[in-house]
Structure formats: structure tokens, C-alpha cells
Structure 1
Amino acid sequence: MKVICAGFSKTGTKTMQAALKELGYNVYDFMENYKYLGNDWMKIFGHGGTTEDFYRMFENVDAVTDVPACCFWDEIHKAFPDAKIIFTTRNEQAWFRSWDHQWTRNTQPMFSVMRLLSPTLYRLNSFIELVVEVMGVKQKKHWLQPNTYNKLLARMSFRRHNAHVLLNAPKDKLLVYNVKEGWEPLCKFLGVDVPSKPFPHKNVRGSIVEEALAKDPVLIRGQREFLFTAAAIAVLVPFGVYKTVNYFRS
């Protein structure tokens, strides 16, 4: 482990993942943590974890970004004390607008139906709900409208996380960074050359949802399961009604 990105979700974490990948790092973002380390995280969420656990999980990973890793940045750093820490920052109002927009997109009623009809999406959603709980955000589920959450507690979680990083991260290993600053401060901190490519800008207005649905193997499998189940229901329900009606007519 060389780089721990400790910034809260919606502070440019997807941009950081893309930038670090461009610099040649093997990066675990949210989906990698879920796909490859999901069982380990479930154990940590339920029973806790040790420094040895985090070392085993990330010994062959160069960098981590986004949740759940950012919530455990200090524990990961105990396992890799030589790792550098990048704390991505964002104005609270801008952060909250982006967070709220992403939340609304991710909790549309259609996604709730898809999760019910796909075992893959159901498992992923269960993991996400635990991550949200770990982040300190309380939510309430609804069927015919997006899930709601306690907005005050979300803001407080953001503030607590930021304060914890700034107070406890070792200053000689910490970069306080806004992704709008581009390549120069990031590459200087990491001791690498500045790429010739433009600095990436990912998840603009929550576009990561559409990108993931189109490209991520887990989500693609989940969509196929949903379509198969929905098609089966569309065939079997009318057939069942037909057979029932005929039974009572006979």
C-alpha cells in the first residue's frame, strides 16, 4: 500500500481513482473493495478488524479511494505506516449538493425493484446499506419515492470525518488536496512525473451510475438477472391467472 485516499465520498474520489490509475497505481475503489474484499469488510462491519486483517487485505494493492476504505484510513495506515495519505477536500455546501444529488439518483424506486429481482443487486445493496451506516448516515426506505436520509447527520458525519483526518494524520505524510488543483501538487507529493494527458474529471453530476451500469461486470450481471426474472414473471403470472380462472370455471 503506497497511497491512502482519506477524503469522504463526493470529494473527488472517482477522479482520484482515475488519476492514480493514470500514474500507474493499482487502485481499489468502492467496487473493487466490494468484489474482492466484500467478505472481509462484512466481518469488519460486524465484528471489527485488526491491523493484520488490513495488511492482508491490502498488501498487494497500491492505493485505496472512496468508501469503505476512507472511513478506515487510520486503521489501514497502521498496517502500512509508510503509505502517503491524500485528503481530498471540498466546500461543505458543494459537497452536500453533490451528495444529495447522487443519493437521489441511487435510490430511485426502479432500482429498488431491480434489487428485489436480482440476487446480485440485492447483495450489493445490502453491502451499500452497511457502508452508509458505517459512514454515520441514517436512512429511511420508501417504495414509491427515493429513500430519505437525515441530512443534518450526513453533514455532521462529513465534518467529523474531515476533523479526524486533519487532527490525526501525520503531517509529514499528508497532502490536503482539491482535485481542481490538477496534476502538479499531486505528482510533486507522490514524487512522480506529470503526465502529458489532461487531468481526469469523473462522476460529473452523478454520471458514475450510468457508467457503472454500462461497464461494471457485477452490475451488468445484475441487470441480466433482473430482466430474466421480470420476463419470467411476465410469462408465469398471466399463465397462473389463466389456469386459476379455468380451474374455477370447470
Structure 2
Amino acid sequence: MSGIVAYPPRPGARVKVIGAGLPRTATNSFVAALQILLDGPPYHVGVQTAMAESEKDVLTWIDILEKRPYRDEGERQAGLRQIEAILDGYVATADPPASQLVPELIEIYPEAIVVCTTRDMETWANGMVTITAMVRPRLQRFIFFWMGNLRHLPRMWDLLPKVFAERYGAQTRTKADAKQVYERHHQWLEEIVPKNKLFYFNVKDGWEPLCKALDVPLFKDIPFPRLNDSKAFEGIFREWAMQGLLRWAAVLGCGVVCFSVLAIWVR
């Protein structure tokens, strides 16, 4: 993903900003800006789980999601420990499922502020319907089967609509449902986040509102990072799919060769 980075953790860093924006609200531009403002590594779930060399992160998020809704306090506390461990060394969060775990994040990081990235709802709803149609977990399980940590992503993608349905009473298969998710997400944040700690931010507005929310000096000399999340995701998604199909072709090709050799040998 051009300009999109999976940051390594920095020992001692602690979450100062909880990114509560829904996917497709310029979350990659948001974390790139936070990396500059907070001088530390942000954790964008989609990027970190997809681009990490280890399967640990994606498997941890899957386990966290599978615990919900919590059956008892012990299970909830176990989930909190997992979240804190995976975010150790990072200064900010963004992207689902972290943006749907705001109550847990507030409990772990009571000193952090919550910033919800926003976008024109009509445009956002159209984009979410498109991406929901593109990401078909059952098909992706097959395509990514030979691709390390990527093979686990469809499991996480399959769990997220269930979280949306639980929290907002809708998913994002249709434009009307997507709009309901958008509106109810903001309503939910206003119910659970103290008013003085909740900020809304559209990346189109540049540095000023973000700097004000973080109470840091206004950046004037550095251009605000503007990464095209939509095109980047669609491009990398197609690249992953092609790699997955090529690996299947290689595996099946080897299988045909081995079968042919075996057939000749047993004659």
C-alpha cells in the first residue's frame, strides 16, 4: 500500500488517542498524521494485521472478537489483557475492531482522548456497500489459504459484520443499512465517551482541528498526509488475490506433476 506503513512498537509508548472512526473514513491518513504529531507509532488494525510477518496479531484480534459478547467478568478481563498486550508500544489506535472496542480502550487508557474520523455519509455508505461486496470471507478463505497471516483475515472479516449487527442493529450490505451504521456509531460514541474527551475529525480540514484536539502546536511547515485509502485497499486486495491464485496454481501444478510421476512409477 503506497505510503501506508505497519509501524513496529516503541518500548514505553502508551495509547494517547483512541481512533473511533469507522472504516473508509481516511483512517490511514489519520494515523499518518498522528505518527507526526505524537512522534510515535500508531496501530492501524487493518494495516498491522495484513502486513505483519507474524500471525500473532490477527489471531489475537480474532480471539478478542470471538469472546464477544462476554459471558462473564473473567472473560471480559481476559479480553482487556489481550487488547493491552497487543497495543503495548503504540501511541494511537484506528480501524475495526479497535474502533468498536472503545469502552474497553477507555477503561485501559482513561487518560486518552477519543477521535472519530468522519466523512460525508452518502459517500461513505456507497463505499462501504462496495467494499462489503468485494470482501467475501468464504471465497477469500480459499484464495488466501497458502498466504501466511493473510489466510486468517477472512475469519476476522467474517466476525466484524456480527459486531456491527450487535452494536448498530445493521450491517453494510445495503446503502440504507450502511447509513444506519454510520448514524448509530456516532450516537453510541456520544453515549459512552465523556463529552470533553470526544472529538470528530474530517481529514479534509487538515492539521488545525486535530492539533487543537490533541492540544499541540499547529503544524504549518509539513503538509497534512493524504493517503488514498480506497484505491490503496482495492489495489492491494487485487494484488493479494492474484498472489493467492498463483500459489494455488503452483500447488495444483505440483500436485499434477507428482501424480503423473507416481502413475508412471507404479506401472
Q: Which TM-score applies when normalising by structure 2?
A: 0.72
Aligned equivalent of 1:95: 124
Displacement of 1:196: 1.9
The CA distance in 2 between the partners of 1:97 and 1:55, in whole Å, is 34
Contact residue 16 and residue 113 of structure 2 kept, 8 A? yes
Amino acid at match of 2:60: D
Q: 2:231 is matched with which residue?
A: 206
Secondary structure at the counterpart of residue 82 of structure 1:
coil
Q: Structure 1, residues 122-156: CA drift from partner, whole Å, max 9, x if none?
A: 212112211232223658xxxxxxxxx35544332
Q: Which runs of 5+ in 1 are unaligned?
A: 140-148
Give the letter for the 1:15 counterpart. Answer: S
| Deviates most, 45-54 or 169-178 | 45-54
7, 10, 17: which one aligns with 2:31: 17
State the superposition RMSD in angstroms: 3.4
SS in structure 2 opposite 1:207? helix
Following the alignment from structure 2 to structure 1, what is the Cα–Cα distance between the partners of residues 261 and 176? 52
* Percent identity over paired residues: 25
Deviation at 1:63, TM superposition (A): 0.2
Q: 2:256 is matched with which residue: 228, 237, 241?
A: 237
- Which sections of structure 2, spanning at least 5 residues, go unmatched? 1-14, 71-75
**Structure 1 residues 19, 84: CA separation in 2 closer, same or farther (over 3 Å shift)?**
same
Q: Residues 26 and 195 from structure 1, CA distance in 2 versus in 1: closer, same or farther, beyond 3 angstroms?
A: farther
- Displacement of 1:52: 4.4
Counterpart of 1:60, as a letter, is G
Choose which of 184, 189, 196 in structure 1 pairs with 2:221. 196
Alpha-carbon deviation of 1:81? 0.9
| Cα distance change on mapping 1:56 and 1:113 into 2, 3 Å | closer
Deviation at 1:226, TM superposition (A): 5.0
For normalisation by structure 1, the TM-score amounts to 0.76
The one of 34, 40, 43 equivalent to 1:28 is 43
- Farther off after superposition, 64-73 or 112-121: 112-121
Q: Which residue of 2 aligns with 1:70?
A: 99
Does the Cα contact within 8 Å between 1:27 and 1:61 map onto a contact in 2?
Answer: yes
Distance (Å, rounded) in 2 between the aligned partners of 1:196 and 1:171? 31
Structure 1 contact 106–209 (Cα < 8 Å) conserved: no
Residue 123 in structure 1 maps to residue 152 in structure 2 = yes
Change (3 A) 1:233 1:55: closer
Displacement of 1:165 in angstroms is: 0.8
